[in-house]
A and B are shown apart, each in its own frame.
Chain A
Amino acid sequence: MNVVRKAVAAAAVAAALVPGFAAAQEAPLKIGVVSFLSGAAAGPFGVPARNAAEIMVEMLNAGKVPAPYAAKGFGGAALQMQLVDEAGPATTQVTEFRNLAQRDSVDMVIGYISSGNCLAIAPVAEELKKLTVFFDCGTPRIFEEKNYKYVFRTASTATMDSVGAALYVMDLKKGKVGSIAGVNQNYAWGQDSWSDFEASMKKLAPGVKVATSQMPKLFAGQFNAEISTILGAKADVVHSSFWDGDLEAFILQAGPRGLFKRSTVVLTTGETAMYKLAEHIPDGVVIGARGPYGPYAPDSELNRWFSTTFADRYNVPPNYAAYQMAQAILGTKAAWEKAQAANGGKRPDTDQVIAAFERLSFESPGGRIEMAIGAGHQAITETVYGVSRKVKGKMTVANVKRYPATAVNPPDGVKAADWIAGGFKQ
């Protein structure tokens, strides 16, 4: 528990792969990469994200990433990755962040899966003036409550997942939703996800009743009583933003009790469990992937390269956490190289990178990403939902619907809750 493991990787690999590379280029860039390497979130999120980071750093250093990212490293500068475990309380993460910024003098930090950790790290990044890119955490409160200069997030917020889920179930059930129920983890991510979903449903289906809202402790693992309550509530739709071991335990416990048959269950992060628990997920469960990732990723050269490279190396397809890590690294590279070009080809300083990053539009394996809100520091993407369907025993998604970024994300400067309450106006 709370064991922090660090490893320095990748630059040596790059140098070995491309003789003379490091010597011929400018000083390498040190990137602190923070992800769960232990604890419950490591398996489904942290390790796939770390794997994606290792692939991206290695391939960027070798110049093997397809266009528009064919240039080596960041603008020719090789990347050195320093890994930090995200496990442990937020106080530990703040200490680790300070270590990265002050002791290890990294040039930037890319990381964080937990919304609680992102909320804790953002003000520290600002205090230390360290460029920090959140790659996965979902709470919309980060840029709603404050403007940050040094902090960016290249993934959409939980608002997108919740609004997208509400739009999808209304489409799926042809507007006939009389009651909803929720089971979400009791911390920033779960609370924000449920409040956005509940508000969206009340707007889209006026008169919809909230049968019950369960908020078990994070990593509780035992959900018999919650499932009984939800079964008893007989809601038309059950929303859950559970992730990691809680998501898997919920699927294992809810299936034999008939919850998936009684209600339309929405799992906003279900993509991380859909293959490994395929035999326990019946047809018709609404599966989210926190955006256009995994089975919902567009058919582009960049996506084909990323998914094939990842699957070839790790023998599993990349899940959305892996996509989001690749997206964060590529977004930062795009900003860096834009700043470098504006600086006459010379290495940009942090302020120049920040200026280039704000309102940046860049390509990722999940499609086009717009840094459109949060004063240009928060990404928006389209989102996609579908339902589980087994085809010849293999898990697939069916009834796939895509929702454009502007339909599921608030406009710049508008809080998610106000945007939803105002009827999703752009």
Chain B
Amino acid sequence: MGYVPPWFYRWVLAAVVTLVIWLAWASTRTPEALWAPGHLSRYHAGVQSCMHCHEPFQGPTAARCVACHDVAGFRREAGSVADFHVGAVERQRRCVTCHTEHRGDTAPITIRPLHNPHGELVFLATGARSCADCHAFPDGLGGRPTLLDNALVGDLIEEGEGAHRRGGFARCADCHAGGRVESDD
């Protein structure tokens, strides 16, 4: 280190300070380019500001989400997904447990691809309005769901007369070919 004159370190400091000032200035002009881990999805392409969804040092909070995606909006929609979200908002669940962003404009906004192994048949047959009517999602939709022990599940098990059992519900189409409620047996 002895070969380096003191002025060299002053120049290094000046260069670093200049870099920081440039990044601070650029952050006000194009914050997504500097900080975002990826482009927003097509669903949120119109969002103009990072702070629209992010709270400082708290990340994307449910409070910011429901400012646009409120209960009234979900209630206006029909179907199990809307009901699930009404329940999630009313129970103040964290949206980021299941949802993510900044993965590109054509990427899904759920953390992992969602697949309902039962198809729509299960809603038709049981009267369930939402996945959460029969399942608990302890780690959000990214985790493995567990079957609830409630009247709806109990009725479904009873209805199967032995064919419906825990761990065997996913193969609905084996007996209910074509999505018929009445089985072939």
Report if A and B associate in a common complex: no
A interface vs B, CB < 8 Å? none
B interface vs A, CB < 8 Å? none
